[in-house]
Amino acid sequence: MRKPGWSGLVLCALLGCSAPKSSTGSEAPPPAPAAAASKPLQVTASPASKDDIILKSVELQGNTLVARVMHGGGCKEHTYELLWNGAFQKSAAGEAQAELVLAHDANGDSCEALLNRTASFDLGPLAQRWREQNKGEHGVVELRFTGSQVTGRYTF
């Protein structure tokens, strides 16, 4: 008789299960990516995502936005870009807002495993644009993401 643990282990490997939980019962967060791995924010006239993606959370680490995402796949390498049209809006409180698009390219991956990934982006171009328009060195921009309720507050 086969042990049931093997089938669970094989299934987990095929579906990309998360790491085992610690003895406290909570999952350890994945290590933050190095700043060198960050892609710069891209300014484009009509930002749009190619393939479906769910933005789970964002964390700001200085000028780096770390996004935790989820999407289907598992057979090909996926790429991510952070896109912005270059315009600031004003929030109800009068603060600057930027509407960003987290673009996902699955490169034709039709596999259906549920993948959890982390992508990092350099927000330097956004800060530079704000400085040019506001003639100031320091600012705050509320980050909104198209198709998501997740927000962030970028202070520079």
Residue 53 CA: distances (Å) to CA of 41, 57, 85, 116: 18, 12, 19, 10
Q: With cut-offs at 50, 70 and 90, classify the pLDDT of residue 11.
A: very low
pLDDT tens digits, one per residue of 103-122: 999 999 999 999 999 999 99
Average pLDDT over residues 39-50: 92
pLDDT tens digits, one per residue of 46-80: 898 889 999 999 999 999 999 999 999 999 999 99
Domains assigned to the chain: 38-155 (2.60.40.3220)
The whole-model pTM stands at 0.73
